Structure 1
Amino acid sequence: MTDKLKTEGKFTYAEAGEGPEIIILHGLMGALSNFGATFDYFSNNGYKVLIPELPLYSLPLLKTNVKNLADFLKEFLEYKKIDSAILLGNSLGGHIGLYFTKHYQEKVNALVLTGSSGLYEKAMGDSFPKRGNYEYIEQKTKAVFYDPEIGTKEMIDDVFEIVNDRSSVIRTLAIAKSAIRHNMANDLPEMKIPVCLIWGKQDNVTPPEVAIDFQKLLPNSDLFWIDKCGHAAMMERPEEFNKILQNWFTSRKI
């Protein structure tokens, strides 16, 4: 997918396909490639798919928060001249999608959340990775998945690099605190747009009860489970993830 990356002004993003736009929002430690299978599937099946690189580690420290990341998404949509789109987010990406929807519901045709933060912040706040301890980083990265082998050495190396860069660590902690501040529980009942929740049954970062709470609070939502799957369903069980989402789009005429 990196061959599709382009940089224009302040935006670096991947784009492919034609049709209704899907904007994919990656997580705090998540590379754009985590969504490679979903990007390829939907861009070849009637949708235009875009994945912007979120400025998690390049915003000024005081602006490194959920609100400004949602503002960045708004600027990206304006730059691409997209009036409204489907938002698909994992972990922090889901939280950004929720915050954006709270303020610009008219710009969101549908919202797809998988392992989203926004209600339960163990995702970022309970035990921040220890700098310099590769084995600990390896253990924490692999624990995100039901099948620990999904956590490749390349992925572990990327996380290790982030947590050993002081600037990145400070910004990661700023985002984590911001996520706790911006709990969405009181806002969800006002979101009337269609929402698809796709959750790993063995997600230990945003556990199954989080998905159940999202479904209770979002008035127009459907919840789907993927068994033998952790926090990043689109990576761990991509075919099942894409099939569920495609069927949901069809049933909702999205």
Structure 2
Amino acid sequence: MSFALKEEKDFKYIEEGEGEVLLLLHGLMGALSNWEDVINEFKSEYRVIIPMLPLYDLPLLTTGVKTLSKYIHKFVKHKNLTNFTLLGNSLGGHVALIYVLAHPENVKGLVLTGSSGLYENAFGGSFPKRESRDFVKQKVEYTFFDPAVATDELVDDVFQTINDRNRVIRILAMAKSAIRHNMAKDLHKITMPVALIWGKNDKITPPEVAVEFSQLLTNSELHWIDECGHAPMMEQPVEFNKYLKQFLEKLKK
């Protein structure tokens, strides 16, 4: 990925373009590069910002989705961001939901894609065996409709991560935190416009999760993307960006 990583105080992030802010949050096994096609599509009209979530840097006792939401609040204050659109994939969507419940005054619209917060089937129901790259490859492929999206580079990144004991412990702690922190009873409090852009073939947060989100979020719209798994902005970027652009145009009105 060709974008420069900026570092200020305790924050690492990518920032491209100028204009209204799109704040993008990656998932548990995700990376800033997951949003590359979104950056390229929207940086000519928007200020696209992606903070690196400190998934592996938090004290174990405080590793959880609420702590990540507080981190995002600190980042928003540091960058003096207001009236922005917040996007989250997978765990990033979960963090976004917690954030907008606490700070709705900062956010004009919310986009969720493959978001946790209701139900998820992380790693296909089992955690990768650290010694087996083939097993990791299968599980990364499981994330997508088209296994070819799981490039060697992507598989190697995940394999490296889960062979780091400290990272594994925090991944498991974060995953358990996400499962415990079910959002179903709180979603009706979110009244801002929400776009749900979902892969029809998502096996980690399957289609019924998107339907439940759409029922519980009172001001939401749901868009399906065919032949697409858990990360639509990576697997079907043209379709994803089309729906995102439509939603952003509505927010301008």
TM-score, L = length of structure 2: 0.97
1:77-156 residue pairs with structure 2 within 5 A? Answer: 77-123=76-122, 126-156=125-155
Letter aligned with residue 25 of structure 2:
L
Q: Distance in 1 between matches of 2:3 and 2:16?
A: 11
- Unpaired segments ≥5 residues, structure 2: none
Q: 8 Å contact 2:113–2:231 — kept in the other structure? A: yes
User: Which residue number corresponds to residue 33 of structure 2?
Assistant: 33
- For 1:39, the aligned partner's letter is I
Secondary structure (helix, strand or coil) at the match of 1:205 reads coil
* 8 A Cα contact 2:21 2:49, kept in partner: yes
After superposing the two structures, state which structure 1 stretch, 9-18 or 213-222, moved more: 9-18
User: What whole-Å deviation, never above 9, does each CA across 1:197-225 have from its counterpart, x for those lacking one?
Assistant: 00000001100000000000000000000
Code of the aligned partner of 1:176? A
CA RMSD of aligned residues (A): 1.2
Whether 2:225 is the aligned partner of 1:238: answer: no
What pairs up with 1:1-254 in 2 under 5 angstroms?
Answer: 1-44=1-44, 46-123=45-122, 126-253=125-252
User: Is the deviation greater in 217-226 or in 84-93?
Assistant: 84-93
Q: Deviations over 1:16-42 (max 9, x none)?
A: 111111110000111110100001111
Maintained 8 Å contact 2:145/2:229: yes
For the Cα contact (< 8 Å) 1:5–1:13, is it kept in 2? yes
Q: Percent identity?
A: 54
Cα distance in 1, alignment partners of residues 216 and 2 from structure 2: 37
Deviation at 1:228, TM superposition (A): 0.6
CA displacement at 1:121 relative to structure 2:
2.7
Q: 1:251 offset after TM fit, Å?
A: 2.7
Unaligned stretches of 5+ residues in structure 1: none
Local SS of the residue matching 2:3: helix
Q: Distance in 1 between matches of 2:16 and 2:183?
A: 31
Contact 1:196–1:248 (CA under 8 A) maintained in structure 2: yes
Query: Would you say the 8 A contact 1:91–1:123 is kept in 2?
Result: no
- Paired with 2:239 and 2:154, the residues of 1 have a C-alpha distance of 22
The residue type paired with residue 55 of structure 1 is P
Instruction: Check the 8 A contact 2:83/2:105 in 1, yes or no.
Output: yes
Q: What displacement does 1:124 show? A: 5.9
With normalisation by structure 1, the TM-score equals 0.97
- Which residue type is aligned with residue 97 of structure 1? A
Cα deviation digits, residues 58-110 of structure 1 (max 9, x gap): 11111110011000100100110113321100000000000111111111111
Question: Is this contact kept in 1: 2:109–2:251, CA < 8 A?
Answer: no
Q: Secondary structure at the match of 1:58?
A: coil
Structure 1 runs (4+) deviating above 6 angstroms are none
